[in-house]
Amino acid sequence: MPATTTPTQARKVSEVDQWHMETEVAIVGFGGAGGCAAIQVADSGGKAIIFEVASASGGSTAMSSAEIYMGGSGGTRVQRACGFEDTTEAMFTYMMMSAGPQADEDKIRGYCENSTAHFEWLCELGVPFKDSFHESRAIMCLTDDGLLYTGSEKAWPFAEHAAPAARGHNLYVEGDNGGPLFMKIVTENVEQRPAITVEYEVRALTLICDDNNEVVGLVVRKDQQELNVRATKGVILCAGGFVMNDEMLRKHAPKLTRGNQAIGNPGDTGAGIQMGMSAGGAAINMHEGFISLPYYPPASITGGILVNDKGQRIINEDVYHARLGNAILKDEGERFYFIVTVEQYGDYEKMNFMAAEVCGTGETVAELEAELQLPGGSLQHTVSFYNDNVAHGSDPMFHKASEWLQTLEVPLVALDVTPGRGSFWPYFTLGGLDTLPSGEVVREDRSVIPGLYAAGRTACGVVRRAEGYSSGMSVGDATYSGRLAGKAAAAR
Amino acid sequence: MPATTTPTQARKVSEVDQWHMETEVAIVGFGGAGGCAAIQVADSGGKAIIFEVASASGGSTAMSSAEIYMGGSGGTRVQRACGFEDTTEAMFTYMMMSAGPQADEDKIRGYCENSTAHFEWLCELGVPFKDSFHESRAIMCLTDDGLLYTGSEKAWPFAEHAAPAARGHNLYVEGDNGGPLFMKIVTENVEQRPAITVEYEVRALTLICDDNNEVVGLVVRKDQQELNVRATKGVILCAGGFVMNDEMLRKHAPKLTRGNQAIGNPGDTGAGIQMGMSAGGAAINMHEGFISLPYYPPASITGGILVNDKGQRIINEDVYHARLGNAILKDEGERFYFIVTVEQYGDYEKMNFMAAEVCGTGETVAELEAELQLPGGSLQHTVSFYNDNVAHGSDPMFHKASEWLQTLEVPLVALDVTPGRGSFWPYFTLGGLDTLPSGEVVREDRSVIPGLYAAGRTACGVVRRAEGYSSGMSVGDATYSGRLAGKAAAAR
């Protein structure tokens, strides 16, 4: 893992003897947030330079599926074409529940109210979405369909409170290729705007502050030289999260160290967050992140039950995969199994993300229970209780939706989903600089640091925990928050 | 709740036109940490001023039971007299498990290795401990006994990994009066040392930093005037946590807002943490705190079972009350009940802390299950499964220790321990400034801020989460970390 080389003290303007470059808005990082920020600066009549440490644009957005979570206001064009008349209130309620106690109501309100307009903005950039609905339960869409369910919208308890609607917008491209296409389009848009300059292979080192603690520029390293960049309207930090910084992970988000696959680009070292902190910015929600057991596809696994080492079920198995994964991480149990029928197991070996191994089979439940070393009678009770209720079409304990209620008939198969035993646990960070909805970075007392903005995973955005995550919320947040920061900086 | 009035930007020394006071070490806050810090400064040959916003010493330590968690090195005098030959390794293992993934190994190692010496130091101050053991399971000792179990030492999984020993040291005083006595003794010790001055009713406002970001003093408000205090050796922040600051709680530790009784003094506004952040200090573990359901005494409740709204048990009921409380908070369930026999209920009404109301009784388990609206058959299975195993002297699911395994015979009583339904949920914060074991405050990159120290709840100490809390860890940490900070500052 690359260590950060960012000093955590901002440079004083009194120590700057020469300005090597000047712009209105300096943007650190050319992923989804930085790219959209730059476009918005230019379209607001401003000038921007993007500093990107890599030799090309992309960031973590290009590595993602680039699903984008959008809806409300009666539905986007794609939603309406697919029969979803999504309301802003339903989307707001769902996203508030998603963020849970950490929710930033103002940010979520703004995101939901402006979401269909954001869709239109993306379309104007040239981002293509097909007016078609992908029916099957998937983590990412491998077809070119434009819309799918990407969260827990149809699952308890969300569906009880917010009318479900599919909001995951998928780019019009076959396979898991949304990210590269999205960043290609954003990059083309950046290149078409003369007001934007891009400096690749340039590392941002630290911010430059004046005597009033206002951010007036930043120090970058280019061709092994330190250059002082003056930014007359401000600096926007879009440098990703800190998933690649082991020390920060251990210190702030030890939960994530239970994962085994960091999701992000090598630049996600937390340097942007550290730069913001050095100018007085408060970092919040640093303990949280996305961490998940991606147990579908095949969707058929959803018909099975998840049990802990007491043979107890712990959650409705039809939720989003990160919500189920987090139920495992929160449970006191030391071992966890997915119990499925042979039919549900199906072609699991041909197509699965979670990589959990078969650790037991049983011609009877008692046999499987013994093989898994569960307390005698525990799994037998759980299965018979579950089956008895399935026979009546209900799941009184966990409220799994009826479409997934299937009798567990022997022989049964157990998949070991214990963290650390081979199953796949991807993770990335969700903590970052505290910002106003405008993208302005604030101090611990929420006073604004003049001239400093953050967006994407460098900021703490609308999506705040794995338990309520839905795919598409990060790219949605990055692109939308980037735009707001660009607009605010340009208007300064 | 009093809002903090602390500006979150440090004052520059260039803005200081006059020093109104001067000392070597300025200490903010006169609770357990600040008092012990001052004593240690004086005993190291240094001079100190303590600034206390209240009109008397005390802080949250005086409001506590002042149990002090100490042991290792073969045992303190009291432990040895009571038959506990405690080892440093056992204490270290237990405390590492207690802190979990957030553990600071260096701090915990130092705390355990020096714990019996800390006991001796307290004895030399005049803190009295009786060489007697309090047998019964208690949250606080209402007798004058000197030693009791105050954590989960004898419970699974701790007892499997670390030889249990009682480490909660209780002052030689009847009733829950340890805190006032402890602070009386500390205050007398402070007053006996001419090198220490105490300024009461003086509020610390902000730190003063020089051009190298070194802390050289602080601004205080005394008699409605702002005074600049020069501190040639440094400033020690011992101003408590942030449990009284609603805004910080909601932002950083929303879990704690599920509690209904803030534990602390009115000065716990987070002002010390904010001052440290303003000088570049990193705050860590800000999402964590102590939050608990104090379900004993009467100890007899421990013989019952805790179930969620699925009728499932979720934890061994013989753990420390904050560990059980947190199992409730982590569970997806919406309702929680303690199910006890009439005998276990006993004289619950006469003496209980948790204040949970009886919400159901049943001549049969089925009757109680129906009354509690639990899924049909769920509680019946849980109770019969539990009883079957109790008959064999075991608890294969949760490993409750055999001394607490009692058959649940009807009639049964249900106590509603759902958060928000009347039961008592005390809470306080456990996040704070990141410090080295010496008390030196560090930045996000762990570089030291010269001249700045923190101790007690203003720092993030050895105790980091409710799930592993034991009573006495906070006063133990406050007094010990205060001493280390005092020693380090005096030696500067």
pLDDT reported for residue A139: 84
Phi and psi angles of residue A440, each rounded to the nearest 5 degrees, phi first: -65, 130
Identify the H or E element spanning A453.
Answer: strand A448-454
Beta strands in A223-368 (DSSP E): 225-237, 261-262, 283-284, 289-291, 305-308, 336-341, 357-362
- Give the integer Cα–Cα distance in Å for B50 and A149: 59
In chain B, % of residues over pLDDT 90: 94
Q: Do B251 and A12 touch (CB under 8 A)?
A: no
Calculate mean pLDDT across residues B22-51: 98
Calculate mean pLDDT across residues A332-353: 93
| pLDDT tens readout for residues A403-451 | 999 999 999 999 999 999 999 999 999 999 999 999 999 999 999 999 9
Calculate mean pLDDT across residues B6-35: 93
Across the interface, of A102, A313, A444, the residue whose CB is closest to B8 is: A444
What sign results for the dihedral spanned by CA atoms A90, A93, A94, A95?
positive
> Are A181 and A66 a contacting pair, CB within 8 Å?
yes
Pick the CATH number of B11-64+179-291+426-490 from 1.20.140.160, 3.50.50.60, 3.40.50.720, 3.40.190.10: 3.50.50.60
Q: Chain A contacts of B101, Cβ < 8 Å?
A: 254-255, 257
Question: In which band, very low, low, confident or very high, does the pLDDT at B7 lie, cut at 50, 70 and 90?
Answer: low
Q: Do B445 and A102 touch (CB under 8 A)?
A: no
Q: Do B12 and A398 touch (CB under 8 A)?
A: no
| pLDDT tens readout for residues B423-437 | 999 999 999 999 999
> Are B220 and B227 a contacting pair, CB within 8 Å?
yes
Q: Give B150-208 as a DSSP string.
A: -SSTTSTTHHHHS-----EE--SSSSS-HHHHHHHHHHHHHHT-TTEEEEET-EEEEEE
Least Cα distance to A41 among A462, A448, A439, A461 occurs for A439
**Residues whose CB is less than 8 angstroms from the CB of residue A392 and which lie 6 or more positions away in sequence, other chains included:** none
Q: Do A254 and B7 touch (CB under 8 A)?
A: no
For residue B229, what are the β-bridge partners?
A: B21, B218
Question: In which band, very low, low, confident or very high, does the pLDDT at A7 lie, cut at 50, 70 and 90?
Answer: low
How far is C-alpha A414 from the chain's CA centre?
Answer: 30
Neighbours of A342 (CB within 10 A): 12
Phi and psi angles of residue A14, each rounded to the nearest 5 degrees, phi first: -65, -20
From chain B residues 305-324, the ones with a CB under 8 A of any chain A CB are 310, 312-315
Whether residue B398 is predicted with pLDDT greater than 50 in this model: the reply is yes
Q: Chain B contacts of A329, Cβ < 8 Å?
A: none
B209 touches chain A (CB under 8 A): no
- The complex's ipTM? 0.93
Residue written as tokens 């805790």?
B306
pLDDT reported for residue A1: 33
- Give the integer Cα–Cα distance in Å for A459 and A441: 8
Q: Terminal CA-to-CA distance of chain B, rounded, Å? A: 37
- Average pLDDT score, chain B: 96
Q: Do B445 and A377 touch (CB under 8 A)?
A: no
Whether residue B60 is predicted with pLDDT greater than 50 in this model: the reply is yes
B350 CA to chain A: closest CA distance, Å?
Answer: 33
Question: In which band, very low, low, confident or very high, does the pLDDT at B183 lie, cut at 50, 70 and 90?
Answer: very high
From chain A residues 341-380, the ones with a CB under 8 A of any chain B CB are 375-378
B444 touches chain A (CB under 8 A): yes
| pLDDT tens readout for residues B221-239 | 999 999 999 999 999 999 9
Whether residue A5 is predicted with pLDDT greater than 60 in this model: the reply is no
**Residues whose CB is less than 8 angstroms from the CB of residue B143 and which lie 6 or more positions away in sequence, other chains included:** B134, B174
Show me where the domains of chain B are located. 11-64+179-291+426-490, 68-175, 299-416
| pLDDT tens readout for residues B72-120 | 999 999 999 999 999 999 999 999 999 999 999 999 999 999 999 999 9
Q: Chain A contacts of B284, Cβ < 8 Å?
A: 251-252, 286
Whether residue B2 is predicted with pLDDT greater than 60 in this model: the reply is no
B209 CA to chain A: closest CA distance, Å?
Answer: 13
What is the fold, at CATH topology level, of the domain defined by B299-416? Flavocytochrome C3; Chain A, domain 1 (3.90.700)
B115 CA to chain A: closest CA distance, Å?
Answer: 25
B278 touches chain A (CB under 8 A): yes
C-alpha distances (whole Å) from A101 to each of A174, A282, B255 are 37, 19, 7
Whether residue B3 is predicted with pLDDT greater than 70 in this model: the reply is no
Whether residue B198 is predicted with pLDDT greater than 50 in this model: the reply is yes
